[in-house]
Amino acid sequence: MDKSRIKDTYKEIFKSHDNPSLKKHIEKIIELDTYLPYSSTFFCITNTQNLSFEYISKNMSACLGIDRNELDIKGMRYLWSRMHPDDLDIWLKALNELMNFTLTEISVSDRSLMSYTWNYRLKDGKGNYVNIVQNTTPLEFDSENKPIIGLAHYTVLSTNVEMQICASAKLLNKKNEYETVYFNNFSQKLLSTGISNRERDVIRLLVLNYSSKEIAEKLNIAANTVDTHRRNILKKLNISSTGELIGMLKINKNLI
């Protein structure tokens, strides 16, 4: 995709006419950021209306080797300019599908309980492409209840780990557990078909070392149902054991 078209496509996806207040969110984020240790993750408050970052955590420069002030001044356009050109079209398609799914399938009352994840490759300060897994939680909505301000967490992984481009949406249930309500593997490879959203939730919790009983409680289903899901997952993926499944997915968590 011609990078000059990214702005128009992105703004069409997140088109809005409101101007929400960010003061309370930014104050809390800055307060938290002061005490966080340096790691392979950083976070930002994203504003899809003016394509800016309302706040960028201190870890960003350590993770990417990019000047924090430059990203703050140039905003999202600067980040897009550093994306791998092969990922741009797929990334925009993923965002568009996530937005359409939210507006057509998620009730207004549940939209504040959503969490979205997608990934792409980004050029770091040394000119090398790294994998970025981005998880965004809505903070503010416009008058049509469209998410426009988000808290975005970025995890930086080496490109030595081959990752397919995926997008997912999860809804926080009454047990305080996120359940998958949408998943799409845009690279059409591992786990792209045949695995249900409920099975993805079982897989995700297995990777976190939860037992069938604990998974059943979190997802509000019977333990026997969890065991049935586990058998079906192994059969669909032609894998002989849960240990083999976990080993395969621990380096590709975004696939679930």
**Residues 147 and 238 both lie in one domain:** no
Q: What is the pLDDT of residues 164-212, one digit of tens each?
A: 888 999 999 888 888 999 988 887 654 445 788 888 888 888 888 889 9
Domain that holds residue 39: 3-189
Q: What is the pLDDT of residues 55-114, one digit of tens each?
A: 999 899 999 999 999 999 999 999 999 999 999 989 999 999 999 999 999 999 999 999
Is the distance from CB of 56 to CB of 68 less than 8 angstroms?
yes
Out of 189, 206, 233, a domain closes at: 189
**Residue 37, pLDDT score:** 55
Q: What is the pLDDT of residues 97-126, one digit of tens each?
A: 999 999 999 999 999 999 999 999 999 999
**Residues 207 and 254 both lie in one domain:** yes
Mean pLDDT of 150-158: 90
**Residues 105 and 212 both lie in one domain:** no
Q: Domain holding 162: CATH number?
A: 3.30.450.20
Is the distance from CB of 249 to CB of 255 less than 8 angstroms?
yes
Residue 36 pLDDT level (bands cut at 50, 70, 90): low
**Residues 60 and 177 both lie in one domain:** yes
Q: Domain holding 224: CATH number?
A: 1.10.10.10
**Residue 210, pLDDT score:** 87
**Residues 150 and 178 both lie in one domain:** yes
**Residue 256, pLDDT score:** 57
- Reference 112, options 82, 146, 157; nearest CA is 146
H helices then E strands: how many in the chain? Answer: 10, 7
Q: How many other CB atoms are found less than 10 A from the CB of residue 59? A: 20
Residue 253 pLDDT level (bands cut at 50, 70, 90): low
**Residues 185 and 235 both lie in one domain:** no
Out of 151, 173, 189, a domain closes at: 189
Identify the bridge partners of residue 153 per DSSP, sorted by sequence position.
Answer: 43, 135
200 is written with which tokens? 């993805």
**Residues 237 and 124 both lie in one domain:** no
Query: What pTM was computed for the model?
Result: 0.71
